[in-house]
Amino acid sequence: MAFQNLLIEDSGAVRLITLNRPDKLNALDRTTLAELHQAFDQAASAESVRVVVLTGAGSKAFVAGADISEMSPLTPVQARDFSRFGQQLMTRIEQLGKPVIAMINGFALGGGLELAMACHLRIAADTAKLGQPEVNLGLIPGFGGTQRLLRLAGRGAALELCLLGQQIDAARALALNVVTRIVPSEQLSAETMKLAEQLAAAAPQALRGVLDAVVIGGEAGLQAGLDYETQAFALAFSTEDMKEGTSAFLARRKPQFVGH
Ligand code: COA
């Protein structure tokens, strides 16, 4: 299906979703948020898709935040609904059950950083700039930024970024665990695809078990999280890929995962 503000492209089992409003630095308006909801639903249900890469069109921005022109006239009730709609999208991405990589090609500010933080891996160009600048607008992050930044980077960094509202460069973002990897900008696409293809060749149910145990189980407290891990571990023994992975290791050959 064609979208107004997104480009969708498959390369083997890797689905590339590109936010495509470069003249507005890919700012998240309601249409784009709704389209992302749909695009991630489709990626979840398409069996051929094993990994999703999310990026922004143009050379300047991943996403420069929620659309300020759309946001400024909202009533408090509308703002609550807007926040919830954004948060639901972020949770949808985080709980997709397939790895999602944010390919951060430029500004990742406000809702842009919140979107990147909902992804499982964040690979940034060395030229990228990141931040939660909402306080400069008299606002606070509303798409989960206060909570995910806290979990990724700790309370000190979350408070520093959200209170000061300043942009940080990719190197500092890496030092704070806000991104997982940095590469020279001209290598961003190739390095991200290499990573995506590595994940696409892995056993999808094993990846899913890891994602569920870390993302969902990790929020449930230690014992509940350990129980979650045990269930996912046991479930892996029902898959062909587990039989293939362990027998390939014992036969000293490369595994060929079938995906179930
Ligand atoms: N919402 C709506 N429009 C946005 C936007 C946003 N979050 N971020 C950028 N844009 C638009 C600009 O209004 C401009 O549109 P125009 O050409 O029609 O006037 C266009 O994108 C280009 O942005 P511009 O500000 O001219 O680029 P710049 O290189 O001078 O500055 C930024 C880049 C990212 C520093 C600056 O755009 C910015 O601060 N954006 C807002 C970041 C923010 O506060 N995000 C959190 C929102 S809650």
pLDDT tens string 210-260: 999 999 999 999 999 999 999 999 999 999 999 999 999 999 999 999 999
What Rg do the C-alpha atoms of the chain give, in angstroms?
19
**Dist CA 13 CA 64 (whole Å):** 28
pLDDT tens by residue, 122-167: 999 999 999 999 999 999 999 999 999 999 999 999 999 999 999 9
Same domain, 27 and 142: yes
- Write the CB contacts of 38 (distance below 8 Å, at least 6 apart in sequence): 1, 3
* pLDDT for residue 229: 96
The strands making up 61-63's β-sheet, listed across from edge to edge, are 61-63, 107-109, 129-131, 168-169
In the residue annotation, 134 being an active-site residue is answered as yes
Give CA–CA dist 181/88, Å, rounded.
26
Both tokens of 165, joined, read: 């509202």
What is the span of the domain harbouring residue 31? 6-200
> pTM value?
0.97
The verdict on residue 256 lying in a domain is: no
Is 257 within a domain?
A: no
Q: Ligand 1 centroid to 187 CA: how many Å?
A: 26
Residue 110 counted as domain residue = yes
Residue 258 is assigned to a structural domain of this protein: no
Strand 14-19 relative to strand 6-11: parallel, antiparallel, unpaired?
antiparallel
Residue 251 Cα to ligand 1 middle (Å): 56
Q: Is 29 in the pocket of ligand 1 (CB under 6 A)?
A: no
* Ligand 1 within 6 A of CB of 144: no
Say whether both 56 and 118 belong to one domain. Answer: yes
pLDDT at residue number 220: 93
Tell me, what CATH number does 218's domain have?
1.10.12
Report CA-CA distances (Å) from 77 to 82, 90, 137: 9, 20, 19
Do 195 and 214 lie in one domain? The reply is no
Contacts of 115 (CB under 8 A, 6+ apart): 28, 54, 62, 63, 89, 90, 93, 102, 108, 143
Query: Which residue among 160, 180, 200 closes a domain?
Result: 200
Is the same domain home to 109 and 210? no
Nearest C-alpha neighbor of 142 from the set 212, 62, 53, 67: 67
Rounded to the nearest integer, the mean pLDDT of the chain is 97
Catalytic one among 35, 47, 94, 134? Answer: 134
Is the domain of 238 the same as that of 143? no
Asked whether residue 37 is assigned to any structural domain, the reply reads yes
Distance (angstroms) between ligand 1 centre and the Cα of 24 equals 6
CATH number at residue 17: 3.90.226.10
Q: Is the CB of 92 under 6 A from ligand 1?
A: no
Two tokens at 192? Answer: 């991200």
Beta bridge partners of 125: 183
Structure tokens at 54: 């999310």
Pair (214, 183) in one structural domain: no
Q: What is the pLDDT of residues 28-83, one digit of tens each?
A: 999 999 999 999 999 999 999 999 999 999 999 999 999 999 999 999 999 999 99
Is the domain of 138 the same as that of 247? no
Q: Does residue 259 sit within a domain?
A: no
Domain-ending residue, one of 185, 200, 215: 200
**Domain end among 200, 220, 242:** 200
Residue 150 lies in a domain: yes
- Hey, whose CA ends up nearest to atom 4 of ligand 1? 24
**Who contacts 214 (Cβ-Cβ below 8 Å, separation ≥6)?**
none
CA–CA dist 125, 6 (Å, integer): 21
185 shares a domain with 73: yes
Q: How many domains does the chain have?
A: 2
- Judged against a pLDDT cut of 80, whether residue 182 lies above it is answered with yes
Q: Are residues 220 and 157 in the same domain?
A: no
